[in-house]
Chains A and B, each alone.
Chain A
Amino acid sequence: AQKITQTQPGMFVQEKEAVTLDCTYDTSDQSYGLFWYKQPSSGEMIFLIYQGSYDEQNATEGRYSLNFQKARKSANLVISASQLGDSAMYFCAMREAITQGGSEKLVFGKGTKLTVNP
């Protein structure tokens, strides 16, 4: 079963509008972390925002915020006031808790391609 599901292969948004990119995850752990990365066409992976499973408030970083719904196991990224430079692939990733034999790796979804139209 996929750990991270991003159901939107592509999304379009008008410049200056807000957009939500969906991410659902699957884990039986109570302690985990969720990350969003941006990958422009140049290829580098850029860390955007982090949400811990025990964080009571939704994470925010500038124009990026996370709509974290723990019961639904969703961690949607909201980009406000979209800019042309936001056009890129966006990946959701999860790090599960370290249990006996647990792992520190990030598991990534397949990504959503965001296009910002002028």
Chain B
Amino acid sequence: DTGVSQNPRHKITKRGQNVTFRCDPISEHNRLYWYRQTLGQGPEFLTYFQNEAQLEKSRLLSDRFSAERPKGSFSTLEIQRTEQGDSAMYLCASSLGGRTGKRNSPLHFGNGTRLTVT
């Protein structure tokens, strides 16, 4: 079963350092999403891609955050100059959307990357 894969599972970093996370979606899925989840809260939308195009970014995504999906397959999320408030679980999800998918296509989530900024 080739589900959504995220690496690393855990990342501990010191404040001010840069971190990068990787997400490999389900291969036939054209849409890829990034969410952030803090303790006791639901996932909060950060950004999503259709193929290689980044179609929407949340206001939560400050200029320290950047996401790419260069070939429309895997994606990376980079956080520069990390702050303690960035500590959270970062979830990646993929789905079939647009002309190639159904409107009711659910998002399939990876296991997430837990970031701790000390």
Contact = CB atoms under 8 A, between A and B. Distances in A.
A50 B48 contact: no
Given A103-B56, A104-B31, A105-B56, A45 B45 contact: no
Interface in A94-110: 95, 103-110
B45 A107 contact: yes
A91 B104 contact: no
Nearest to A109: B42
What bracket does the count of chain A residues touching chain B fall in? 20 to 34
Interface in B63-111: 89, 91, 93, 97-98, 103-104, 106-111
Contacts of B42: 4, 91, 93, 108-111
Contacts of A104: 31, 48, 50, 55-56, 97-98
Nearest to A31: B103
A109 B91 CA distance: 16
B112 interface: yes
Contacts, number: 59
Contacts of A103: 56
B54 to A, nearest CB: 12
B89 A43 contact: yes
Contacts of A106: 33, 45, 107
B62 interface: no
A33 B43 contact: no
Residue from B31, B50, B107 whose CB has the most chain A CB atoms within 10 Å: B107
A44 interface: yes
B56 A33 contact: no
Contact of B43 (A31, A42, A108): A108
Interface string A38-60: 00001111110010100000000
Contacts of B109: 37, 44-46
A35 interface: yes
Contacts of B41: 110-111
A75 to B, nearest CB: 13
Contact of B112 (A33, A43, A108): A43
Interface of A: 4, 31, 33, 35, 37, 42-47, 50, 52, 91, 93, 95, 103-111
